[in-house]
Amino acid sequence: MSFSIPRGTQDILPGDSEKWQIIEAKAHDLCRRYNYREIRTPIFEQTALFARGVGDTTDIVQKEMYEFKDRGGRSLTLRPEGTAPVVRSYVEQKMHGWVNQPVKLYYTGPMFRYERPQSGRMRQFVQFGVEALGSADPAVDAEVIALAMEFYKELGLNNLKLIINSLGDKESREAHRSALVNHFAPRIDEFCSDCRARLDKNPLRILDCKVDREHELMTDAPSILDYLNEESRKYFKDVQEFLEEMGINYEIDAGLVRGLDYYNNTAFEIMIDGEGFGAITTLAGGGRYNGLVEDIGGPETPGIGFALSIERLLMALEVQGVDLIREHNLDVYIAALGEKARKKVPALLHQLRAAGFSADADYMDRKMKGQMKAANRQQAKYVLILGDDELAENKINVKNMQDGTQSLEPLENVEKKLMDSGIEKGDQ
């Protein structure tokens, strides 16, 4: 019987996994600089959390969740996004009572959505995201956006485009909602079944419909920007001014509504502007979600965050020709000849690895010529050549593979010899 990988998933093999490590290390380092701390939540949660937090009118909840019953009959769901679990933890762990506010968190991990697999969109995918909870300061909005933009720039991406919008506060959204209902209701029968269902529940979601995006009513639908009250208008203006002071360029798109129900006030997307990336040009998205904490059972708490797909980031890097890693160079390869010499190799490898060197040796019983070829294939910087005669004298040959020089050294000095050579341990 043969097995194949489930549709919409992937194996990340050596050669590619190093790219993931570099990206994850960049995320950790950048969040450290911005004073965000890591949170890790379960891969599955109660289904009701996502229905309540993400919104039961969203495609995610209606069509894409991996929902199952456990042996106790409880409905559980593989997490389709990261914000609702983080907010659940914020409420359950009473982070609103922590001394340091706002609570600034970040996460990386797999998410799951049952949708048609395509380039840059998998059924299991990995997100990096941040959440800042506890502050309604527009400066925090700008900080979150700046973190996302900086992440891409430090990894080498260019031609980025930041799109922002305001979805307004509750009062503004209600006024806009009424205008949308009046706009779409007379001809709602011309729209898909999803849009017809959304008219009463959440008409804003109609604007995000992929089926009816070309309908003429979409082009002249009421703009949220025309319904912002004075407070929401000022808030949005403050966010823009902070971005301008940071030197971050942006465009305003009144049609940007995002795909989740919990957003209000600031919403944003980061897109890649250029050829070769296909139809899906959005790299990251996020926004403010004041009210979500209360919906999940916590106290009134403002929040803002973003999430991005690592898979889509890797696609963008490839399109722009950004190579994250140099070829893997092994620090040291040990070539041994003779039974006694071979028995010495494991202890010597252990010593070098403990000292911080990447080191390997022959496990295929190759002749010396084969071992030297293996060292070359792995681009070893140094080869330690040990034979029974050298071992009897407690010595070892140290060969510099870059310039071909070779010296016979006491075994106890080999670590110092490598250190003194200026070798950069574990260099990639």
Res 328: pLDDT: 72
Report the interhelical angle of 17-33 vs 310-319 (nearest 10°). 110
Looking at the structure, do residues 345 and 415 belong to the same domain, yes or no?
yes
Looking at the structure, do residues 274 and 135 belong to the same domain, yes or no?
yes
What residue numbers bound the domain in which 411 lies? Answer: 332-420
Instruction: Give the CATH number, domain containing residue 163.
Output: 3.30.930.10
Report the interhelical angle of 193-201 vs 170-184 (nearest 10°). 140
User: Do residues 63 and 71 lie in contact, with contact meaning Cβ atoms separated by under 8 Å?
Assistant: no
Res 351: pLDDT: 94
Looking at the structure, do residues 254 and 354 belong to the same domain, yes or no?
no
In a domain, residue 214? The reply is no
Q: What is the 3-state secondary structure (H, E, C) of 76-126?
A: EEECCCCHHHHHHHHHHCCHHHCCCCCEEEEEEEEEECCCCCECCECCEEE
Res 425: pLDDT: 63
In a domain, residue 161? The reply is yes
Looking at the structure, do residues 302 and 356 belong to the same domain, yes or no?
no
What are the pLDDT tens digits along the chain (428 aa)? 899 999 999 999 998 999 999 999 999 999 999 999 999 999 999 999 998 878 766 778 878 999 999 999 999 999 999 999 999 999 999 999 999 999 999 999 999 999 888 777 899 999 999 999 999 999 999 999 999 999 999 999 999 999 999 999 888 888 888 888 888 888 888 788 888 888 877 787 788 777 888 888 888 888 889 889 999 999 999 999 999 999 999 999 988 876 566 778 999 999 997 666 655 588 999 999 998 999 999 999 999 999 999 999 999 999 999 999 866 789 999 999 999 999 999 999 999 999 999 999 999 999 999 999 999 999 999 999 999 999 999 999 999 999 999 999 999 999 999 998 877 665 54
In a domain, residue 78? The reply is yes
Collect all residues with Cβ–Cβ distance below 8 Å to 353 and sequence separation of at least 6.
359
Show the tokens assigned to 58: 């969203």
Beta strand residue intervals within 175-311, DSSP E: 251-252, 264-272, 282-288, 303-309
Looking at the structure, do residues 269 and 395 belong to the same domain, yes or no?
no
Looking at the structure, do residues 47 and 89 belong to the same domain, yes or no?
yes
User: Do residues 87 and 108 lie in contact, with contact meaning Cβ atoms separated by under 8 Å?
Assistant: no
pTM of the entire predicted model: 0.87
**The last residue of a domain, from among 278, 295, 319:** 319
Looking at the structure, do residues 292 and 384 belong to the same domain, yes or no?
no
Instruction: Give the CATH number, domain containing residue 373.
Output: 3.40.50.800
User: Do residues 340 and 391 lie in contact, with contact meaning Cβ atoms separated by under 8 Å?
Assistant: yes
Res 294: pLDDT: 93
Looking at the structure, do residues 111 and 142 belong to the same domain, yes or no?
yes
Looking at the structure, do residues 38 and 115 belong to the same domain, yes or no?
yes
Beta strand residue intervals within 212-339, DSSP E: 251-252, 264-272, 282-288, 303-309, 332-337
In a domain, residue 243? The reply is yes
In a domain, residue 23? The reply is yes
**The last residue of a domain, from among 257, 284, 319:** 319
Res 258: pLDDT: 65
In a domain, residue 136? The reply is yes
Q: What is the Cα–Cα distance from 160 to 153, expressed in whole angstroms?
A: 9
**The last residue of a domain, from among 298, 319, 340:** 319
Q: How many domains does the chain have?
A: 2
Res 428: pLDDT: 46
Looking at the structure, do residues 158 and 305 belong to the same domain, yes or no?
yes
In a domain, residue 199? The reply is no
Q: What is the Cα–Cα distance from 266 to 236, expressed in whole angstroms?
A: 7
Instruction: State whether residue 383 is helix, strand or coil.
Output: strand
Res 203: pLDDT: 83
Show the tokens assigned to 65: 């969740």
Looking at the structure, do residues 263 and 410 belong to the same domain, yes or no?
no
Res 173: pLDDT: 83
Looking at the structure, do residues 58 and 141 belong to the same domain, yes or no?
yes
Radius of gyration of the chain from its Cα atoms, rounded to whole angstroms: 28
Of 104, 83, 101, 119, nearest to 286 by C-alpha is 83
In a domain, residue 355? The reply is yes
